[in-house]
Amino acid sequence: MNLDEILEQHKLWLDSDGIEGERAYLPDANFTGADLRNANFTGADLTDAKLTGADLNHADLTDARISEKNLAYALKRGGRKC
């Protein structure tokens, strides 16, 4: 499943309060340099995801499981703020 499909299933999961779709589970995902603008990762598991240089402009990371260290590193290394 590609990221667009995962995010589509995640949106369905969010919109249905977990009845349909599937929560995004992306621990250890490699998003190095990825365009993640406007992505909705609300409640997603991004534990240890590699975010170096990822464009997180307007991405929603509300309640996402994410390493603060990885997020800070991404923003320091050229990623855009959320």
Q: What is the pLDDT of residues 1-50, one digit of tens each?
A: 899 999 999 999 999 999 999 999 999 999 988 999 999 999 999 999 98
Is 40 domain-assigned? yes
CATH number at residue 62: 2.160.20.80
| Residue 79 confidence class, pLDDT cut points 50, 70, 90 | very low
| Residue range of the domain that includes 75 | 25-82
Is 78 domain-assigned? yes
Please compute the mean of the pLDDT values over residues 59-80 and round it to a whole number: 72
3-state helix, strand, coil in the chain (%, to 5): 25, 10, 60
Is 48 domain-assigned? yes
Distance between CA atoms of residues 5 and 18, nearest Å: 16
This prediction has a pTM of 0.81
| Residue 54 confidence class, pLDDT cut points 50, 70, 90 | confident
Is 2 domain-assigned? no
Is 53 domain-assigned? yes
Is 33 domain-assigned? yes
Instruction: Please say whether the beta carbons of 54 and 75 come within 8 A.
Output: no
Q: Tally the domains of the chain.
A: 1
